[in-house]
Chain A
């Protein structure tokens, strides 16, 4: 298991190098720069800025420097947030995004698995069809439509919850963003769980349990262990979807997370900030993929990590 984990981490290195190389050169080959303001800077000042940030060096030198700094964990200074390094920005934004993401993931898993199980145990019934419809709806209504609707309903009309803002992570400020972020994943997880649960309920050991007279709930609990495998397997893509979704959710609800920093950074051509975010997201996705595979192996002895 440990050897497997190490090997997987090692295999992630080429992926990361590819991510870094691609995004570095893509950004630098594009026209425009971080210091293009509405009113152009005097040439001398521009020259100075470029020298301070090392942008006057040839591209390969800059790339080598960036890689060298990255190897020591230095993500560089931010170009658009003066006096702050990218690491500083992440130190502020990451807790916000992590809180949001983990709560949404927990909610999506709980509700999605619950609904999927319900639908699978009542196949063809009204509950099944209702869950199917809701899941399709959750998958088809984009978060940037859900968010304004929730804001109108609970923020403006009912005045139960604040419209936007973070306020240090006050629970009332978290409710709407977490729901918005979780909703499409609830749909995806519910559908996946329904399919795999329906299959698990047909398995022989589950039939035996039912024949032995176990109550339906206990039977479902046994079937669930096998049915959860596909859900665990999509943990990586799920995390990626959460990270993507958080860009929209953080923008709409005005949350100071890394998704917002990414959009602002991209619009301001903040090379280091965008690079840092892309690297961070890639690392997170890789870790979640690994976590999904390890969990699958724990749940299913057939997938023991020998090879």
Chain B
């Protein structure tokens, strides 16, 4: 680790030993729960990144004829959905369905009407999302009877569809991008603010430290979630605002952790030596203090990500967070909770993604804490 190298290069011979971070990594790799959590996280992140390109549906594409489908692997429209859909389409074309049959993925439909059926009304078929371009096979009785053929589309919705007929898998994955992005960026904001503030406060000590920490104490007592809600409601919720608001709330813990670490480090010989060598405060903070607080900070940051994601989805659930057309897991869960009686899958799909991610992050954070500080357990 760079922190272990002295600023003026290695002069004395250091006995070969395994660096502590390698030991910690080894301990983490032996923790089966943490490894599984890491795998889950990688899978979720990868799925959210590339998944939406592979599902075959744009997340905002609505199929009005395929609303609130249950999850399943069967291709849609299934046979039980064809009849009613054709009745509706024929009604729009001012005709009746006389007969229909599907063979080898093609629909053969016989229409009958009191007036001649216009060929251009056949555009209703491809427009319905269920069929491809239609061709007229046979025209009889002066156009009162029409036989047309059209390919039946085969759409798949592994996790079903929502109230507007949008693919839930695509939506959950795209929502995951937003949720994960907020989790990472807001954590990064909190991390930077907290580490800088805590390191400065702890290193300078004395009156500066007292004032800085008094401010943190005061801020600590604020009902922050309520504050974030006020902020988000009164200044139209935007992604940037949510990020800043959440980041601004969550840096306090980080500042406290880093300050405590810094105070301990401050008395260590290598920091005193650096001071004696005349390094500037900023240089000492950057080279010796901050890198050595990274252990506890990593743990805190890992545990902060799920808290941030939870806070975002909490806001979005109340309708105060991410707004349409953007979506996040909280938004989808809110939709699902509203439709829970008719389509339980709408709640289950995004909730499963959210819970899996939060749990994996929590387990990973605990695993990291154990690995970095084996005395803890």
Sample of 8 more A-B contacts, CB < 8 Å, known A15-B218, A19-B222, A240-B223: A15-B221, A23-B227, A26-B227, A27-B234, A32-B234, A136-B362, A240-B225, A247-B229
Q: Is the CB of A263 within 8 A of B318?
A: yes
Q: Which of A67-75, A113-121, A281-289, A293-301 contacts B (4 or more CB under 8 A)?
A: A281-289
Q: Which of A45-53, A138-146, A172-180 contacts B (4 or more CB under 8 A)?
A: A138-146
Whether A107 sits at the interface, judged by CB under 8 Å, is no
Q: Give the nearest-CB partner of B225 in chain A.
A: A244
Whether B351 sits at the interface, judged by CB under 8 Å, is yes
Contacts known (A140-B359, A145-B347, A145-B351); A285 close to B230, Cβ less than 8 A: no
Whether A262 sits at the interface, judged by CB under 8 Å, is yes
**B334 contacts across to A, CB distance below 8 A:** 144
User: Which residues of B in the span 331-351 have a Cβ within 8 Å of any Cβ on A?
Assistant: 333-334, 336-337, 340-341, 344, 347, 351
Q: Is the CB of B221 within 8 A of A140?
A: no
Contacts known (A247-B318, A248-B318); A15 close to B222, Cβ less than 8 A: yes
**B351 contacts across to A, CB distance below 8 A:** 141, 145
Whether A84 sits at the interface, judged by CB under 8 Å, is no
Q: Which of A214-222, A224-232, A266-274 contacts B (4 or more CB under 8 A)?
A: A266-274
Q: Is the CB of A140 within 8 A of B358?
A: yes
Which of B231, B330, B344, B355 contacts A140, CB < 8 Å? B355
Q: Is the CB of A142 within 8 A of B314?
A: yes
Q: Is the CB of A26 within 8 A of B230?
A: yes
A218, B318: Cα distance in complex, Å: 47
Contact with A along B221-253 (1 / 0, CB 8 A): 111011101110111000000000000000000
Contacts known (A144-B333, A248-B314, A251-B318); A281 close to B221, Cβ less than 8 A: no
Interface centre among B226, B230, B320 (most CB of A within 10 A): B226
Whether A18 sits at the interface, judged by CB under 8 Å, is yes
**B218 contacts across to A, CB distance below 8 A:** 14-15, 18
Q: Is the CB of B221 within 8 A of A23?
A: no
Contacts known (A30-B235, A286-B221); A274 close to B230, Cβ less than 8 A: yes
Q: Is the CB of A144 within 8 A of B314?
A: yes
**A278 contacts across to B, CB distance below 8 A:** 223, 226-227, 230
Please list 26 pairs of residues, one from A and one from B, whose beta carbons are closer than 8 Å in the complex, sorted by A's number: A15-B222, A18-B222, A22-B227, A26-B227, A31-B235, A136-B363, A140-B362, A141-B355, A142-B313, A144-B313, A144-B314, A145-B333, A145-B351, A149-B347, A152-B344, A244-B223, A244-B226, A244-B314, A247-B318, A248-B318, A266-B233, A278-B226, A281-B223, A281-B226, A286-B221, A289-B221
**A267 contacts across to B, CB distance below 8 A:** 233, 319
Q: Give the nearest-CB partner of B221 in chain A.
A: A15
Whether B160 sits at the interface, judged by CB under 8 Å, is no
A30, B341: Cα distance in complex, Å: 38
Whether A148 sits at the interface, judged by CB under 8 Å, is yes
Whether B354 sits at the interface, judged by CB under 8 Å, is yes
Q: Is the CB of A148 within 8 A of B336?
A: yes
Whether B306 sits at the interface, judged by CB under 8 Å, is yes
Whether B260 sits at the interface, judged by CB under 8 Å, is no
Contact with B along A12-37 (1 / 0, CB 8 A): 10110011001100110011100000
Which of A26, A140, A152, A248 contacts B234, CB < 8 Å? A26
Which of B223, B318, B362 contacts A19, CB < 8 Å? B223
Contacts known (A142-B310, A281-B226); A252 close to B337, Cβ less than 8 A: yes
**A12 contacts across to B, CB distance below 8 A:** 221
Instruction: Give the size range of A's interface with the partner.
Output: 35 or more
**Nearest-Cβ distance from residue A283 to partner chain B, whole angstroms:** 9
Q: Is the CB of B223 within 8 A of A282?
A: yes
**B131 contacts across to A, CB distance below 8 A:** none
Which secondary structure dominates where chain B touches chain A?
Answer: helix
A278, B221: Cα distance in complex, Å: 12
Q: Give the nearest-CB partner of A251 in chain B.
A: B318
Whether B157 sits at the interface, judged by CB under 8 Å, is no
Q: Is the CB of A140 within 8 A of B306?
A: yes
Whether A59 sits at the interface, judged by CB under 8 Å, is no
Q: Is the CB of A285 within 8 A of B235?
A: no
Contacts known (A30-B234, A148-B340, A282-B221); A277 close to B333, Cβ less than 8 A: no
**Nearest-Cβ distance from residue A126 to partner chain B, whole angstroms:** 15
Q: Is the CB of A156 within 8 A of B314?
A: no
**A197 contacts across to B, CB distance below 8 A:** none
User: Which residues of B in the span 74-108 have a Cβ within 8 Å of any Cβ on A?
Assistant: none
**B221 contacts across to A, CB distance below 8 A:** 12, 15, 236, 282, 285-286, 289
Whether A78 sits at the interface, judged by CB under 8 Å, is no
**Nearest-Cβ distance from residue A86 to partner chain B, whole angstroms:** 15
Whether B197 sits at the interface, judged by CB under 8 Å, is no
A144, B315: Cα distance in complex, Å: 11
Interface centre among B306, B319, B362 (most CB of A within 10 A): B362
Whether A106 sits at the interface, judged by CB under 8 Å, is no
Q: Give the nearest-CB partner of A16 in chain B.
A: B221
Q: Give the nearest-CB partner of A268 in chain B.
A: B233
Q: Give the nearest-CB partner of B311 in chain A.
A: A244
A251, B226: Cα distance in complex, Å: 15
A264, B318: Cα distance in complex, Å: 10
**Nearest-Cβ distance from residue B44 to partner chain A, whole angstroms:** 13
Q: Is the CB of B341 within 8 A of A156?
A: yes
Q: Is the CB of B355 within 8 A of A145?
A: yes
Q: Is the CB of A148 within 8 A of B234?
A: no
> Across chains A and B, which 7 residue pairs bring their CB atoms closest together, nearest first?
A30-B234, A140-B358, A281-B223, A140-B359, A266-B233, A148-B337, A244-B225
Q: Is the CB of B222 within 8 A of A266?
A: no
Whether A130 sits at the interface, judged by CB under 8 Å, is no
Whether B317 sits at the interface, judged by CB under 8 Å, is yes
Whether A151 sits at the interface, judged by CB under 8 Å, is yes
Q: Give the nearest-CB partner of A187 in chain B.
A: B362
**A263 contacts across to B, CB distance below 8 A:** 229, 318, 320
User: Which residues of B in the span 288-334 have a Cβ within 8 Å of any Cβ on A?
Assistant: 306, 310, 313-314, 317-320, 330, 333-334
**Nearest-Cβ distance from residue B365 to partner chain A, whole angstroms:** 10
Q: Give the nearest-CB partner of B218 in chain A.
A: A15
**Nearest-Cβ distance from residue A96 to partner chain B, whole angstroms:** 17
**Nearest-Cβ distance from residue B336 to partner chain A, whole angstroms:** 7
A144, B310: Cα distance in complex, Å: 10
A278, B226: Cα distance in complex, Å: 7
A102, B223: Cα distance in complex, Å: 18
